[in-house]
């Protein structure tokens, strides 16, 4: 197996060079097709190596045709950031479908059906660290150290990004924590932050005020939990390495994450300079 051109659909919205590698899995994760976006200079500057940003929910990152609720527009954003001399390789890891909650969660929650599991976060981070990242580093010109390797995701993907940063600082040096669903694993992230050394890299943490308009209690939990995490990370000494953004009108949707993505990537990749 190897990287090959992305199989675009008639309604695909991909900008730039997107490749795919099929059948990537391990003992705990069903095989899935990895996606990788290469910066424009990748083919014209053969001696250059690049930082890498790993995106969860990879089917929603580059192509609206495969996204189940739009796309993050990561390819368009990274193309535009080239003008600011910000370049990176972006890897999209599709979620496990019905196993998404299990893969991204640190414990069970009664709102999720028992058949969806729960508590697979450490196994998922091991999958990224021991299977996905070696494949990417072994086949592309990356800067493989933790200082040049970031995770980013939204909702449960935000939880798993922070979890990966805290539990595997030897591998991941930055985290984009967008609209995090801390309510799904109550207290887990807070406890982990309290017992962990302050991350050496940068964290982008954001939240919207309209994350769950059909459930006012949960909407308030999104908002309050994110602010509490901001305060806790500042207490841990993150200082300027933490960027927190709160949008009162922000929704729980790919369009909101796409809008905030330029800021998040600029912050995360600035830590690699």
CATH number of the domain residue 41 falls in = 3.40.50.1820
Could you tell me where the beta strands, DSSP code E, fall in the chain?
4-5, 17-26, 29-38, 52-55, 89-92, 149-154, 174-178, 202-210, 242-251
Segment 54-79, tens digit of pLDDT: 999 999 999 999 998 899 999 999 99
Q: By percentage, how much of the chain surpasses pLDDT 90?
A: 92
Q: Are 12 and 75 in contact (CB under 8 A)?
A: no
pLDDT tens per residue, range 88-137: 999 999 999 999 999 999 999 988 888 888 999 999 999 999 999 999 99
Quick one: 147 exposed, middle or buried, by C-beta within 10 A (0-12, 13-18, 19+)?
middle
Q: Quickly count: other Cβ atoms within 10 Å of residue 70's Cβ.
A: 15
Q: Is the pLDDT of residue 272 over 50?
A: no
Tally of domains within the chain: 1
Total-model pTM: 0.97
What is the extent of the structural domain holding 23? Answer: 4-270
Q: How confident is the model at residue 271 (pLDDT cuts 50, 70, 90)?
A: low
Structure tokens at 158: 């935000």
What's the whole-number mean pLDDT along residues 30-44? 97
CA distance 40 to 45: 9
């Amino acid at each position: 197996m190897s990287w090959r051109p992305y199989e675009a659909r008639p309604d695909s919205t991909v900008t730039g060079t997107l490749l795919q590698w099929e059948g990537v899995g391990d003992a705990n994760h069903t095989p899935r097709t990895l996606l990788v976006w290469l910066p424009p200079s990748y083919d014209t500057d053969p001696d250059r190596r690049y930082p890498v940003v790993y995106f969860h929910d990879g089917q929603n990152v580059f192509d609206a045709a495969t996204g189940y609720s739009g796309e993050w527009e990561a390819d368009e954003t990274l193309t535009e950031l080239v003008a600011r001399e910000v370049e990176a390789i972006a890897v999209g890891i599709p979620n496990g479908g019905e196993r998404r909650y299990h893969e991204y969660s640190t414990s069970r929650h009664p709102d999720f059906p028992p058949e969806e599991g729960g508590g697979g976060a450490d196994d998922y981070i091991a999958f990224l660290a021991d299977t996905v990242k070696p494949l990417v580093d072994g086949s592309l010109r990356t800067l493989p150290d933790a200082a040049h390797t970031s995770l980013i995701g939204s909702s449960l993907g935000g939880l798993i990004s922070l979890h990966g940063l805290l539990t595997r600082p030897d591998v991941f040096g930055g985290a984009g924590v967008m609209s995090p669903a801390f309510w799904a694993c109550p207290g887990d992230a807070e406890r982990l932050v309290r017992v962990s050394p302050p991350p050496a890299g940068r964290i982008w943490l954001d939240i919207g005020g309209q994350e769950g308009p059909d459930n006012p209690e949960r909407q308030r939990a999104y908002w309050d939990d994110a602010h509490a995490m901001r305060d806790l990370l500042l207490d841990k000494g993150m200082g300027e390495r933490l960027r927190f953004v709160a949008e009162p009108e922000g929704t729980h949707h790919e369009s909101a994450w796409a809008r905030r993505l330029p800021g998040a990537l600029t912050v995360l990749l600035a830590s690699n300079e």
